[in-house]
Amino acid sequence: MLEKGFNQYIREIRIERKDNMQAVDYPFSLEAVRSLKKLELHPNVTFIIGENGSGKSTLLEGIAVALGFNPEGGSMNIRFSTEDTHSELYESIKISRGTIRPKDGFFLRAESFYNLASSIDRVGDGTIAGYGGVSLHEQSHGESFMSLLINRLGGRGLYIFDEPEAALSPSRQMALLRCIHDLVKADSQLIIATHSPIIMAYPHATIYRVDQGYQVMKYCETEHFLLMRDFLNNHERMVELLLED
């Protein structure tokens, strides 16, 4: 596991706005961007949580592009573009690095995973071998996600996951927890945006909630945990309340 301080790949993220950038302009109008001045990262796992539309995915995209990843996902070596829609946020992101450099890296974003899989297929068999030897398109969405996580990510890496739960069943989300732990033990650092109360249960992580600023949350205090707990403990009454006229 990486140690806090200079012996971690990324120590903090800052946004430096130019004079002509207004808070009402996209992407600076998004809460996750507008309220961010400095974000200290956990040496192992940092979660960013919040409502849809808060700008979590846009922020992760900006961080990934600033680090040299392809906007639509993949490793540093993968370059493809199906549509140039990423924001210019990366130009304003400043990254404070530690003294050591990662040996591996990957940007996994659920919304463009299909495009990534197509790009890997076009490269050919040599690249597919690193993802389990079977085309990601020849597997279910969840299977292809797990195949990538298990076969491609080798540790000693910097990994950015944007809503990885999108393709995963609850049991596969639990399997992802184990993958995260194996990567942490192999000296990796992860930044993850998620809505999953299963995934964000990973222990000793830092959880930032985006809501009128950034708040550090304890897992059992997150809305995701509380809502899911209350629903499962009294699901009949909760459904009745939700469906009543």
Contact 174, 198 (CB under 8 A): yes
Question: How much is the pLDDT for 125?
Answer: 47
The pLDDT score that the predictor gives to residue 140 is 79
pLDDT at 20 over 70: no
Angle at 101 between CA 96 and CA 104, to 5 degrees: 120
Residue 233 lies in a domain: yes
Q: If you average pLDDT over residues 195-216, what whole number do you get?
A: 96
106 falls within a domain: yes
Is 2 part of any domain? no
Question: Is residue 82 over pLDDT 60?
Answer: no
- Residue whose tokens read 């990538």: 148
Domain membership of residue 198 as a residue range: 10-243
The backbone region for 213, taken as left when phi is positive above 0, alpha when psi lies in -120 to 50, beta otherwise, is: left
Helix, strand or coil, per DSSP, at residue 188? coil
> What percent of the chain clears pLDDT 70, i.e. is strictly above it?
87
Task: Give the confidence band of 139 by pLDDT, cuts at 50, 70, 90.
Answer: confident
Q: Looking at the domain assignment, is residue 3 inside a domain?
A: no
Report the predicted TM-score, pTM, of the whole model to 2 decimal places.
Answer: 0.90
Q: How far apart, in whole angstroms, are the C-alpha atoms of residue 102 and residue 189?
A: 9
Number of domains in the chain: 1
Share of the chain above pLDDT 90, in %: 65
